[in-house]
Chains A and B, each alone.
Chain A
Amino acid sequence: MKDFAAKPLIETRQLVKSFGGVQATDTVDFILKEGELRCLIGPNGAGKSTFFKLLTGQIAPTSGKILFDGDDVTGLSSFEIARRGIGIKNQKPDVFDGLSARENLWLAAQFDTDKKTADRRVEKVVDELKLGAFVHKLVGELAHGQRQWVEIGMVMARSPRLILLDEPSAGMDQEERVRTAELLKALNTTTTIVVVEHDMQFIKRIADIVTVFHRGKILREAHVDIVLRDPEVRNVYLGRTEVA
């Protein structure tokens, strides 16, 4: 999917978010081209989730700019940004617990269309993600990993141009992680994706370029094999974990 001629789909310029005195996001210049599958890694608290929340309008930046497809979207509310085509799976499962999995998906699918198209979209996602076994159950009663699937399905049902996934493999078993990795690669043929992950096995399965966050700044940005051998990345993040 590497197409260096592609234009940036999302871009941040000197993006800053401070909470109290702490710079959770510190003058971040980030560029993502259409068609990429980018991984973000970095220590807990490095500002990855904050960065995602800024991109989706869940919080407003202190200063700096966010451009989506060339348009300035800084300061837009989250529903406006969602309408422009950014979908996100948050770190903690962010679903409708009191509704069935199908109803969850339906709410996502019917946003900009009629009932019939929405139903078709739901069926498509249920097929693709193999959710059939629990699509009638209340999402609140599903296992953690299944809830993650439902949330990923909700994001997919909206067919966004950019998908942000915050720790998609958390709470999934090994088999589900492999499936998720395959799914993301398939999805990447049509959609630009950014993934925050801590599971290095998972990252190695999907990643190409990896961006490393540390203390709100971008510490490194390079091909996965280079980043994982970087002594500073090892020092602040990986520890002695085998990644060869």
Chain B
Amino acid sequence: MVKFLQRLQRPSGERPGAAWWAFIVIAAVILALLPQTLGLAQLLDLSVVLVLALLALSMSFLWGYIGILSFGQTAFFGTGGYVYAVAAMNFDSTTLPFLLGIVLPMLLAAVLGYFMVYGKLSDIYFSVMTLVITLIMNKAMRATSGSQYVVGDVRLNGQNGIPGVPPLQVPWNPEVTLFIDHVYYLAAALLILVYIGLRLLLTTPFGRVMIGIRENEQRIELLGYDARRYKLLAFILSGALAGLSGTMFAIWGNFVAPEMFGLDRAAEVIIWVIVGGKATLIGPIVGVGIIQYLTSWLGMQGVGQVTLVLGVILIVFVLAFKDGLVPTLGNLLLRLVGARPEGHIKKGSDLKKGSDV
């Protein structure tokens, strides 16, 4: 347990232990059983949290693992959504559109990432570039209201977005389409798989080099690793994840709109990750849940200035919980059980000396 809590403090290169797998199983069981107790409306709310958690993971993976702050995740999110919508409305089957919704954002990330990484943009310019890309795509998509903007049979509709995005079909039986609860199960399964995948990635040499780049890029190069290759691959992977999230978002709401690329969304992603804690993967997932439910709760209470309240929350979190909610809570629990956070553990005689405090 203590070890598990210590792990919450920072990404670890060690193989996850039994406690972690137990945690995964429990989480999976809870997610699987929830539809028994929840109504459809609640399930719909929970589904979007799971879908957006994928987006949060794509961001925290880049930021927390390799140290790149990208505002561009919404660009890939939006691209994924639109690609699925347009393709699904043009084709009979939805299987290929689903895959395209992941692959095309991935390719976009590869092209953009190649120029940004190999153009040796420094971290801050990289962040600004990704922000600009998001803004451009948002503007461009808003400007497609004219009748000349047609892809196949589908009008892009500018500001109004594209309604009536087809639901996902079962690949081997196109007659059956996924209903609300099925989308929920799919989202839950995807989230758990992505979470496990990213966590296990850390135990591979690739993952550990990524952490090394975050800590000290120059040293990584001096050890003979081509840091640019790692950064580009990480960026492409995160683009694919954001695209997956966007695709699922389009499936969940049967609707895509330029807001998917919006500045609001880009800011939200950062808030999720900061509130939850970027040092961990579970943090941002928790962050999405808290912020999403808080937003709708505030809306129901008739608080007009939801954005303002969210802003205040962000400031409080940045000031009070520097590392984010999950690492801070983990730390607190560790103190309660009398253990020290990882990294402060001293071996041998020092431990004896420390016990008088």
- Considering only CB atoms, which chain B residue lies closest to A87 in the complex? B222
Given contacts A79-B224, A137-B343, A154-B223, contact A94 B218 (CB under 8 A): yes
> B residues within 8 A CB of A106?
13, 208
B-facing mask of A25-44, CB < 8 A → 1, else 0?
00000000000000000000
B66 to chain A, nearest CB (A): 12
Contact B348 A110 (CB under 8 A): no
- Considering only CB atoms, which chain B residue lies closest to A118 in the complex? B205
Partner of A107, one of B223, B226, B346: B223
Decide if B220 is an interface residue (CB 8 Å cutoff). Answer: yes
A-facing mask of B170-182, CB < 8 A → 1, else 0?
0000000000000
Contact A79 B221 (CB under 8 A): yes
B-facing mask of A118-157, CB < 8 A → 1, else 0?
0000000000000001101110010000000000001000
Partner of B208, one of A90, A103, A112: A103
Contact B223 A158 (CB under 8 A): yes
Contact A107 B222 (CB under 8 A): no
In the assembled complex, the Cα of A100 lies from the Cα of B345 at a distance in Å of 11
In the assembled complex, the Cα of A106 lies from the Cα of B343 at a distance in Å of 17
9-residue interface stretch from B209-217, B234-242, B250-258, B280-288: B209-217
Partner of A99, one of B205, B212, B224: B212
Decide if A58 is an interface residue (CB 8 Å cutoff). Answer: yes
Q: What's the count of A-B pairs with C-beta under 8 Å?
A: 80
> B residues within 8 A CB of A18?
none
Given contacts A58-B222, A88-B222, A99-B212, contact A141 B343 (CB under 8 A): yes
- Considering only CB atoms, which chain B residue lies closest to A97 in the complex? B215
In the assembled complex, the Cα of A37 lies from the Cα of B126 at a distance in Å of 42
In the assembled complex, the Cα of A98 lies from the Cα of B205 at a distance in Å of 17
For window 62-104 of B, CB contacts with A under 8 Å fall at none
In the assembled complex, the Cα of A91 lies from the Cα of B220 at a distance in Å of 16
Contact B223 A108 (CB under 8 A): yes
Contact B221 A82 (CB under 8 A): yes
Decide if B233 is an interface residue (CB 8 Å cutoff). Answer: no
Contact B224 A107 (CB under 8 A): no
In the assembled complex, the Cα of A83 lies from the Cα of B222 at a distance in Å of 9
In the assembled complex, the Cα of A56 lies from the Cα of B344 at a distance in Å of 35
In the assembled complex, the Cα of A90 lies from the Cα of B221 at a distance in Å of 13
Decide if B155 is an interface residue (CB 8 Å cutoff). Answer: no
Partner of B224, one of A83, A90, A95, A141: A83
B280 to chain A, nearest CB (A): 14
> A residues within 8 A CB of B223?
79, 82, 107-108, 111, 154, 158
Contact B225 A95 (CB under 8 A): no
Contact A94 B222 (CB under 8 A): yes
Contact B224 A111 (CB under 8 A): yes
In the assembled complex, the Cα of A79 lies from the Cα of B209 at a distance in Å of 13
For window 187-234 of B, CB contacts with A under 8 Å fall at 205, 208-209, 211-212, 214-216, 218-227
B339 to chain A, nearest CB (A): 15
Contact B215 A99 (CB under 8 A): yes
Contact A111 B225 (CB under 8 A): yes
Decide if A23 is an interface residue (CB 8 Å cutoff). Answer: no
Decide if A77 is an interface residue (CB 8 Å cutoff). Answer: yes
Contact A112 B224 (CB under 8 A): yes
> B residues within 8 A CB of A112?
224
> B residues within 8 A CB of A90?
222
B63 to chain A, nearest CB (A): 14
Contact A136 B10 (CB under 8 A): no
Decide if A96 is an interface residue (CB 8 Å cutoff). Answer: yes
Decide if A78 is an interface residue (CB 8 Å cutoff). Answer: yes
Decide if B352 is an interface residue (CB 8 Å cutoff). Answer: no
In the assembled complex, the Cα of A179 lies from the Cα of B208 at a distance in Å of 31
For window 177-212 of A, CB contacts with B under 8 Å fall at none
Q: A78-B221, A138-B343 are in contact. List 6 more A-B contacts (CB 8 A).
A: A79-B225, A79-B226, A82-B221, A88-B222, A107-B223, A136-B345
15 contacts between A and B (CB under 8 A): A58-B222, A78-B218, A79-B221, A79-B224, A87-B222, A94-B218, A94-B219, A99-B211, A103-B13, A107-B220, A111-B223, A137-B346, A141-B343, A141-B344, A154-B223
Question: What 9 pairs between A and B have smallest CB-CB spacing?
Answer: A96-B215, A82-B224, A138-B343, A78-B221, A83-B224, A79-B221, A79-B226, A107-B212, A98-B215
B residues near A (Cβ < 8 Å) are 10, 13, 205, 208-209, 211-212, 214-216, 218-227, 343-348
